[in-house]
Chains A and B, each alone.
Chain A
Amino acid sequence: MIKHIYFKELKDAFRDKKTLWLSIVIPILFNIALVYFMDNFMFSVDNEEVIDVSINSNADEEVVSWLEELESIKFISSENPVEEVTDGNTSLAVVVADNFTEALATNEKPVIELHGDPISTKASTVMDKITVLLSSKKEILVGNTLQEQGVDVSSLEPFTINQLSLSPEDDATSSYMVSIFAQLIIVLAVIMGGLPASTDLFAGEKERKTMEALIMTPVKRINIVTGKWLTISTLGAMSGVFSVITFVVFVQLFTTQMKSAMQLDQNLPFFVTSLCIGIFSFAFLIAAIEMLLSMIAKTVKEAQNYLSPISMLGMVPYFILLMVSPHELTNLHFLVPIVNIFALIKQLIAGIYEISSIVMVLGSSAVFILLIFTAATFMFKKSKWVLGDS
């Protein structure tokens, strides 16, 4: 009987344009837009792009000649360079004392000011480049001075610091990007995919009075709940899978920066495996939550009000784990529902395969699903929740 209900609900859902749009079309468009944006704008601060920097017109010529060694930066002379930045004409302002060389010779410690908005990627990038350049110039000057005074320059660097990444340099960026996108895709696609069906299958049926006809049949209510829950889960998972396919195809065929950064050729099996585990676990879990909330509502509108915060709920763990390294994940991350799915994806993409993590995620999700499902079944046996207006 569950199978019969399940197939009928799927057929009904696929004939609903709203479901098709939210489950398939919008996730696909969203992914394409997101990938296009990332590829063209997030990576846009590359070596080829020239960034405008304003500099005071009376700046010391020697400093200007140093700065002009930098590529991809165009220096624009201005009476008021800071105003150029606040007006949006340049990304950074450099203010150099006009008597810089003389002041340096007399040990007066002249100042070079860099003015930029720290939240601007372009400003941060040029600020870093200029700072590195000036630091090297500073070291050369110090070295020259010490040499003149007969001091061994090598004593300036008594030890060396080597910063080494846990993963190969190229893979680190790739994994991080895959991790970010995989999580976003799961959260948004699965939630959006199951949303219209969950609203329609409980609150919608109550509003249209089809629920009344349904529960008057001799079918056990747990079978009705199970059939509907499986339908919502399937649509959520399907939406997630469609998103992954679109994402992979679009990145491979239509992007340049993303394709080279992510190296999907090497990561594809891991990427697909991790996403499948994430999508299916999350789809079953979120379907149970959506079903419960739709059951509480008497009308579709009420259900939509209850279900809207669900997308926020899904985004919280995403942001919590965004800056956490896969090596920093603890058992707690794998035991807290919803958070654990993101943690698992993060770990799998980093190439860390621990059976205990997978068992904890699946076990914890199963327990949480069981609890929600039991509550939903209990509610569905009560006329108050199933008839709506009684």
Chain B
Amino acid sequence: MIQIDQVTRVFKEKKKTVTAVNNVSFSIEKGEVIGLLGENGAGKTTLLRMIAGILEPTSGGISINNLDVQKNPTEIKKTIGVLFGSETGLYDRLTARENLQYFARLYGLSRHHTENQIELLATRFGMKDYLDRRVGGFSKGMRQKVAIARTLIHDPQVILLDEPTTGLDITSANMFREFIHHLQNEGKTIIFSSHIMEEVQQLCEAIVMIHKGNVVYNGTLQNLYKEEETDNLNYIFMSKIVRGNSID
């Protein structure tokens, strides 16, 4: 369903050239939950931004449902829901409802469909009590729920989540993990980046490990445990980073 083919992204800053993502290739099937593992600055966000079509690869190509992301941005964006960070992308001076209405209209939903979706998501995430309050005064947990609802307002088939639990308290983080399970049961394809190993172990069947822009592992967790003869993902991650062998 999602095909990432030899993708490289180079940033040029003044006279310095930084390769954020280097010749990365992997594919994800429909309904899979993939964990994107890596340290801060490993290239996870850059890769997710390229999959979302808001950042152009320097070379290589990405396709979703056999549609090239760069050539068909409008079609691709209609099928993707993206959440960068746990609570970003909300307008503080608008109410939660107004935020959702705005994005629903940008995704081309009719008024009727928008109201139905807001009702559905508000019930699902328990947001009804504060739906008509301005987001500026919300707690982190409340904001996170609104941000997730915004990500799902157009019922996307592919969901990209970039470190969604960073900065959240334990209750909100657990609620979020529960939510990923629900989405998985609904058959959504999910890529989420994280550097929390326990979270990845709980939620993913397969992982893609990135180090300095290179893929150091791509496969199921079971195979990884077998390969490394341990199920301590923290230990595996560290040893992979030390070895730094990229797979081509």
Chain A residues close to B by CB (< 8 Å)? 1, 4-5, 8, 11-12, 15-16, 208-210, 212-220, 383, 386-387, 390
Contact = CB atoms under 8 A, between A and B. Distances in A.
Contacts of B94: 8, 11-12, 15
B105 interface: yes
Nearest to A215: B54
Nearest to B92: A208
Contacts of A212: 54, 82, 84, 88-89
Given A210-B91, A213-B103, 9 more contacts: A4-B102, A8-B94, A11-B94, A213-B82, A216-B52, A217-B77, A218-B106, A390-B11, A390-B49
Contact of A218 (B56, B77, B84): B77
A216 B158 CA distance: 13
| B: interface residue count bin | 20 to 34
Contacts of A218: 73-75, 77-78, 106-108
Contacts of B77: 216-218
24 contacts: A4-B102, A4-B105, A4-B106, A11-B98, A16-B93, A212-B54, A212-B89, A213-B84, A213-B89, A213-B150, A214-B106, A216-B54, A217-B77, A217-B106, A218-B106, A218-B107, A219-B106, A220-B74, A383-B49, A383-B54, A383-B55, A386-B54, A387-B54, A390-B11
Q: Which of A16, A210, A220 gathers the greatest number of chain B CB atoms within 10 Å?
A: A210
Interface string B228-239: 000000000000
A12 B106 contact: no
B60 interface: no
Contacts of B80: 216
Contacts of B89: 209-210, 212-214
B46 interface: yes
Nearest to B45: A390
B88 A1 contact: no
Given A215-B54, A387-B55, A12 B93 contact: yes
Contacts of B73: 218
Given A210-B88, A383-B56, A15 B93 contact: yes
A390 B46 contact: yes
Contacts of A220: 74
A175 B197 CA distance: 75
